[in-house]
Amino acid sequence: MDSQPTVPNSSKYSPRQSARRTSGDPLAPLEIATLIHVGVFVVAATWAFGGNDLNVRPPLLAWGSLSVIITLLALRHVHQGPRPPSKRRYLWLIPFLLFNAYVVIGLFNPSQTEILNGSEKMLLTGTYTHWLPSTARPRLAAWALWAFDTAFLSAFNLAVVVRRRRALRGLLLVLCGNATALAVFGTLQKLAGAKGLFFGLVHSPNPSFFSTFIYHNHWGAYILLSTAAALGLFWHYLRRGDREYRDVWHSPAFVGAVGILLLSATIPLSSSRSSTLLLVGLLGLAFIHGALRAIRSRRGNNESPALPLAGIGAILVLGAAAILWLANPVIRMRWELTKSQVTTMERHGTIGSRIALYRDTLAMAKAQPIYGWGMGSYPTIFYRYNTAVPRSDNLPIFYADAHSDWLQAFAELGLVGSALIGLCGLLPLFSLIRGGARSLISRYLLAGCAIILLYAWVEFQLGDFAVVIVWWVSLFSAVAYASLD
Q: Cα-atom radius of gyration of the chain, to the nearest Å?
A: 25
CA distance linking residue 45 with residue 40, whole number of Å: 8
Mean of per-residue pLDDT scores for the chain: 83
Q: Which of 108-117, 129-138, 141-150, 437-446 has the highest mean pLDDT?
A: 141-150
Q: What is the pLDDT of residue 435?
A: 64
Distances (CA, A) of 298 to 241, 305, 387, 439: 17, 5, 61, 21
Q: 424, 99 in Cβ contact below 8 A?
A: yes
Per-residue pLDDT at 353 exceeds 50: yes
Per-residue pLDDT at 151 exceeds 60: yes
Per-residue pLDDT at 323 exceeds 70: no
Q: What is the pLDDT of residue 53?
A: 87
CA distance linking residue 251 with residue 50, whole number of Å: 31
Q: What is the pLDDT of residue 88?
A: 82
| pLDDT band (50, 70, 90) for residue 96 | very high
Question: pTM of whole model > 0.85?
Answer: yes
3-state secondary structure 242-266: HHHCCCHHHCHHHHHHHHHHHHHHH
The string of pLDDT tens digits covering residues 282-316 is 988 888 888 887 777 766 666 666 666 676 677 66
3-state secondary structure the chain: CCCCCCCCCHHHCCHHHHHHHHHCCCCCHHHHHHHHHHHHHHHHHHHCHHHCCCCCHHHHHHHHCHHHHHHHHHHHCCCCCCCCCCHHHHHHHHHHHHHHHHHHHHHCCECEEEEEECCEEEEEECCCCCCCCCECCHHHHHHHHHHHHHHHHHHHHHHHHCCCHHHHHHHHHHHHHHHHHHHHHHHHHHHCCCCCHHHHCECCCCCCCECCECCHHHHHHHHHHHHHHHHHHHHHHHHHHHHHCCCHHHCHHHHHHHHHHHHHHHHHHCCCHHHHHHHHHHHHHHHHHHHHHHHHHHHHCCCCCHHHHHHHHHHHHHHHHHHHHHHHHHHHHHHHHHHHHHHHHHHHCCCCHHHHHHHHHHHHHHHCCCCCCCCCCHHHHHHHCCCCCCCCCCCCCCCCCCCCHHHHHHHHHHHHHHHHHHHHHHHHHHHHHHHCCCCHHHHHHHHHHHHHHHHCCCCCHHHCHHHHHHHHHHHHHHHHHHHCC
Half-sphere exposure of 450 (CA within 13 A, CB side): 10
CA distance linking residue 128 with residue 371, whole number of Å: 13
Least confident of 26-35, 147-156, 175-184: 26-35
Amino acid at 379: P
Per-residue pLDDT at 135 exceeds 50: yes
> How many CB atoms are located within 10 Å of the residue 213 CB?
30
Quote the Cα angle for 200-206-209, to 5°: 60
Least confident of 128-142, 287-301, 340-354, 374-388: 340-354
CA distance linking residue 107 with residue 140, whole number of Å: 10
The string of pLDDT tens digits covering residues 383-430 is 889 888 776 666 677 888 999 999 999 999 999 999 999 999 999 998
The share of the chain scoring above pLDDT 90, in percent, equals 51
Among 44, 42, 53, 51, CA closest to 204: 53
Q: Which residue has the higher pLDDT, 107 or 330?
A: 107
Q: What is the pLDDT of residue 354?
A: 81
Q: What is the pLDDT of residue 3?
A: 44
Q: What is the pLDDT of residue 337?
A: 53
Least confident of 17-21, 149-153, 290-294, 302-306: 17-21
Q: Which residue has the higher pLDDT, 175 or 52?
A: 175
| pLDDT band (50, 70, 90) for residue 16 | very low
The string of pLDDT tens digits covering residues 114-131 is 776 666 667 777 788 889
CA distance linking residue 363 with residue 265, whole number of Å: 39
Q: What is the largest CA-CA distance in the chain?
A: 105
Among 38, 85, 102, CA closest to 423: 102
Q: 412, 403 in Cβ contact below 8 A?
A: no
CA distance linking residue 427 with residue 389, whole number of Å: 43
226 CB-near residues (< 8 Å, 6+ apart): 175, 176, 179, 263, 470
CA distance linking residue 210 with residue 276, whole number of Å: 14
Q: What is the pLDDT of residue 20?
A: 44
CA distance linking residue 331 with residue 38, whole number of Å: 35
